[in-house]
Structure 1
Amino acid sequence: MAGLLSASAPARAQEMSNTLPDLIDRSRQAVVAVGTFAATDNPRFSFRGTGFAVGDGRRIVTCAHVIPNPIEKDLMIMVPAAGNASGQPQLRAVKLLRRDTARDLAILELADEKGALVDVLSLAEADGDQQVVREGAAIALMGYPIGTALGVTMATHRGTVAAITRAALPAPTSNTLSERAVRQLREGAMEFLQLDATAYPGNSGGPLLDVRTGKVVGVINMVVLKGTRESALSAPSGITYAVPVKYVWPLLGK
């Protein structure tokens, strides 16, 4: 009996380290607010969505629709207080590195000399055509669901992967129609993760984490609305979609 108890202790410790509170503590510093900055605006920082740091800490993953097109103001990220040494939210200049409008993904890169972000998230890697997450898996989505209205406050919502499905993004407008977008329309629908978790418009671009592994398996892309955009707060549908992480890897040059 003693042998069985001692053998199971490491397993229990590993399970405890993968609880949702632990995952939030490990991940929150890498999740940033994405927006634009203009000294003459009030407020000067205009929130547009969520992003998260990956790799060497100088690249940020977000959604393409979070980035204005055309870009007429400075792009900025706001790093939460817990994510920098000052203990205060910090604005960092970024530039658009790559944008895939067909799959609604974008990669930003730090554009200042203040150094890389210390905390980054790990992306799940698929083995061939194998899915990195299964239907029914416990997931957590992180981001800024109501923007910066109440300060830079990140929120986490939990749920499960309800379905892995194929769907087509809305047809791009003339100013976003690119060769890649045309090719995507010609090839047909892309894969999405359908979630039973409630997200809000400000969550766009935020990470979808597998609670078991702690790795990013998708990027929050869109929320099914019952009515107007404003109704997302008062009457959320509870249906959210995420772009699978396999579409992020090519943008990172992997």
Structure 2
Amino acid sequence: MLQRVAQQYGNITSMLVTLDKHNKSYNFIASAFACGTAGYFLTSAHTIKPHDNLGIMISREINTFQTTKAESLEGFAVTLVGFDPINDVALLKANEKLDFNMPSPSAFLGDETAIKVGTSIGYLGYPYGSQGLETVKISSSIISSKILTSNGTRALQLDSSVNDGNSGGPLIDIASGKIIGIITGRYSPSGPTPVAFIGGVPLGQDSNISYAVGISYAVDLMKDEGIYV
């Protein structure tokens, strides 16, 4: 079942980057994934600044052996067309015409409100992409809790340690094969500031509790853009 998820979403999960003014070099910032045939992508709002020069680097073929640092990637500039910082979702559109072989969004985007605690899930992204690991990774976990954030946002708690760089990637219900959320990050017992560093590695920020926001907030942005059918 997890294999099916990997084959279905591995090649549409991409790197979100900032581009230099000539679009010749990039810096990794987060994960993202295609959500429609016309070059639209979803990611986490907290990873970007609205005036960043943003780009998407398309995933390489997941079933072949690849170097961890990509020697060449297909990339293109994108524009921010939907931004919801309260619920931590953002919608991007490619500046050039793209044609992904994907079904309509309503066929592969699910409903987080119907998911039960204990559901097996998979998630994809580019953990430690900022440190040169430019290969998509699939992981598995379960929904350990359903929570409301201080803003009232519906979020799914995962029994898993989501790594830096996974934010913005899709969360998938393995049974249905539908995307039910967007990975946002990991709970840090010490808060945003590490308690100490050893060899440059921050301490006090690891846990096996991570979060994803419900996909319905992304669907709202897609409806505003007129692309949810």
Q: Report deviation, 1:116.
A: 2.4
**Contact map agreement 1:79 1:89 (CA 8 A) in 2:** yes
1:22 is aligned to 4
Letter in 2 for 1:91: G
Of 183, 186, 195 in structure 1, the residue corresponding to residue 158 of structure 2 is 195
Aligned 1:80-91 pairs, distance under 5 A: 80-82=59-61, 89-91=73-75
Moved more, 116-125 or 90-99: 116-125
**Contact map agreement 1:138 1:210 (CA 8 A) in 2:** yes
Of 187, 191, 203 in structure 2, the residue corresponding to residue 224 of structure 1 is 187
TM-score, normalized by length of structure 2? 0.80
Q: Report deviation, 1:89.
A: 2.1
Of 12, 16, 19 in structure 2, the residue corresponding to residue 37 of structure 1 is 19
1:248 is aligned to 218
**SS in structure 1 of the partner of residue 10 of structure 2:** helix
Gaps of 5+ in 2: 63-70, 195-200
Letter in 2 for 1:236: D
Q: Report deviation, 1:123.
A: 0.6
Q: What is the distance in 2 between the residues matched to 1:54 and 1:104?
A: 16
**SS in structure 1 of the partner of residue 182 of structure 2:** strand
Q: What is the distance in 1 between the residues matched to 2:140 and 2:8?
A: 16
**Contact map agreement 1:159 1:195 (CA 8 A) in 2:** yes
**Contact map agreement 2:32 2:43 (CA 8 A) in 1:** yes
Q: Report deviation, 1:225.
A: 1.8
1:107 is aligned to 91
Q: Which has the higher strand share?
A: 2
Q: What is the distance in 2 between the residues matched to 1:107 and 1:40?
A: 23
Check 1:151–1:202 CA distance in 2 against 1; reply closer, same or farther (3 A cut).
closer
Task: Give the root-mean-square deviation of aligned CA atoms.
Answer: 2.6
**Contact map agreement 1:29 1:119 (CA 8 A) in 2:** no
Q: Report deviation, 1:189.
A: 2.0
1:166 is aligned to 148
Aligned 1:116-155 pairs, distance under 5 A: 116-118=99-101, 122-125=108-111, 131-155=113-137
**SS in structure 2 of the partner of residue 51 of structure 1:** strand
**Contact map agreement 1:81 1:88 (CA 8 A) in 2:** no
Q: What is the distance in 2 between the residues matched to 1:104 and 1:40?
A: 29
Letter in 2 for 1:251: L
Q: What is the distance in 2 between the residues matched to 1:66 and 1:20?
A: 27
% same residue:
25
Aligned pairs, number? 205
Check 1:136–1:57 CA distance in 2 against 1; reply closer, same or farther (3 A cut).
farther
Gaps of 5+ in 1: 1-18, 169-187
1:213 has 2:195 as partner: no
Aligned 1:63-82 pairs, distance under 5 A: 63-69=44-50, 71-72=51-52, 74-82=53-61
**SS in structure 2 of the partner of residue 29 of structure 1:** coil
TM-score, normalized by length of structure 1? 0.73
Letter in 2 for 1:111: N
